[in-house]
Amino acid sequence: MKRFLLGYVLPRIGQYIIVVFVGVTVTFVIPRLSPTDPVQGQINRMMSSSGQYTQETLDDFKASLTALYGLEGSGFQQYLEFWGRLFRGDLGRSLSSFPTPVTDLIKNSMPWTLGLLLTATIISWILGNLLGGLSSYYPKSRILNTVDVLSQTVRPIPYYILALLLIMLFAYVWPVFPIRGAYPMGMRPNWSWQFVFTVLYHSVLPALSLVLGGIGAWFVGMKALTSNIISEDYVAYAETAGLKERKILFGYVIRNALLPQVTGLALSLGMIFNGALILEVIFTYPGLGLLAYQAILLTDYTLILGISIFSIIGIATASLVLDLVYPLFDPRVRIQ
């Protein structure tokens, strides 16, 4: 156990720390390489949309924005201040929703993104792998062959194209589901059954666009993996020994094909933060994607940085969790 911790767990945690450190550092450096000045940009927008300002007022406003953006002092001083704020959980205040802290905006949007994309990703992973394994083990099944054809058809289609097709079909041709928001305007979020049902009802189309595309991809991958495993000697021996088909399918075939799919799942969970943008914009879903889109349109410098940092930490954390739980699926890692 000690060898496992020192030789496997601690190096992964160290790698996680390095990845987060480098990612956050790059997030700090890249905006400062931009030729545009966010402070001057805010001043220009303010002057173009309002009346006349005295030079003293503009100087005070510029000094306040410079402090707000953390652009005071030398580059190294800004870097140290940046990490100091980050360790305090202070990502600054949003300019588009001033004086609301960036962490509050992200905190309010994060549950919507996780609730939609995390759930849809896990559902598509379970169904896709299960159907893919069954299709490979029962090649003569008409239902599974039909699923195979549909999966091959849907898999190359981007999820946002599927979203647009579902909107046209179920919101215009056959108006069954709403296409905007997570709940009707004017309705206050609460934990009542009515509100929960309303949220689920509004999330059907965005979730379905992710699930359909995800099932197709996982189905094809699992079928390809299990097709090779079925011809292995230990599977043939289990069949000759008279084991039940369910035992062979789940204990020998799908279980051994699941390892690459677990890796893919962890990477998919990490990419949730990046994949949210287009889908949430299409459906006006109040998650991190829509928040990032609005921040970009409004040039909300601090909010864009905050969302980027959360995305980096989310992806790195998903990879770390994968590395730590992988020995549970593959005993060979523990032995080595």
Q: 124-176: per-residue pLDDT in tens?
A: 889 988 888 888 888 888 888 888 888 888 878 877 788 888 888 888 888 88
Residues 192 and 206: their CA atoms lie apart, in Å, by: 22
Contact, 218 vs 155, CB < 8 A? no
pLDDT above 60: residue 336: no
Question: What confidence score (pLDDT) does residue 82 get?
Answer: 80
Please report how many Cα atoms fall inside a 13 Å half-sphere around the Cα of residue 227, on the Cβ side.
Answer: 10
Does residue 212 lie within any of the structural domains? Answer: yes
Mean pLDDT to the nearest integer, 262-285? 73
CB 117 within 8 A of CB 210: yes
CA–CA gap between residue 89 and residue 84 (Å, rounded): 9
Banded pLDDT at 334 (limits 50, 70, 90): low
**pLDDT band with cut points at 50, 70 and 90 for residue 42:** low
Predicted structure pTM score: 0.77
Mean pLDDT, residues 55-68 taken together: 68
Rounded Cα gap, residues 151 and 57, in angstroms: 62
Within a domain: 224: yes
d(CA 47, CA 53): 8
Residue 245 binned pLDDT confidence (cut-offs 50, 70, 90) = confident
What's the chain's average pLDDT? 78
CATH number at residue 254: 1.10.3720.10
Unique residue bearing structure tokens 């005993």: 331
What is the rounded CA–CA span in Å between residue 23 and residue 14? Answer: 14
Residue numbers of the domain that contains 284: 102-299
Q: Is residue 248 part of a domain?
A: yes
**H-helix segments, the chain:** 2-4, 10-33, 38-49, 55-69, 75-87, 102-113, 119-137, 142-154, 159-167, 193-202, 204-229, 233-240, 245-248, 255-270, 272-282, 288-297, 301-329, 331-335
Say if 242 falls within a structural domain. yes
How many structural domains comprise the chain? Answer: 1
Q: Which residue shows structure tokens 């790059």? A: 26
* Residue at 46: amino acid letter: M
Query: For residues 46 and 60, what is the distance between their CA atoms, to the nearest angstrom?
Result: 14
**Cis bond upstream, residue 158 (ω within 30):** no
Residue partners of 206: CB distance under 8 A and separation at least 6: 116, 120, 163, 279, 280, 282, 283, 285
The mean pLDDT value for 268-277 works out to: 64
- Amino acid 51: pLDDT: 59
Question: How far, in Å, CA of 19 to CA of 14, rounded?
Answer: 9
Domain assignment of residue 144, yes or no:
yes
- Give the contacts of 308 (CB within 8 A, at least 6 positions apart): 27
141 assigned to some structural domain: yes
Distance from C-alpha of 312 to C-alpha of 190, rounded to nearest angstrom? 31
Q: Hey, is 259 helix, strand or coil?
A: helix
Tokens matching residue 281: 């914009």
Confidence of residue 41 (pLDDT cuts 50, 70, 90): low
Q: Each residue of 175-208: pLDDT tens digit?
A: 888 888 778 777 777 778 888 888 888 888 888 8
DSSP tag of 117 = I
97 CA to centre of own chain: 24
pLDDT at 15 over 60: yes
- Asked if residue 317 has pLDDT above 70, the reply is yes
Domain assignment present for residue 47? The answer is no
Using CB atoms within 10 A of its CB, is residue 64 exposed (0-12), middle (13-18) or buried (19+)? exposed
Region 54-58 average pLDDT: 66
Distance CA 187, CA 182 (A): 10
Q: Give whole-number Cα distances, 5 to 2, 20, 99, 318, in Å.
A: 5, 21, 45, 19
Q: Is residue 66 part of a domain?
A: no
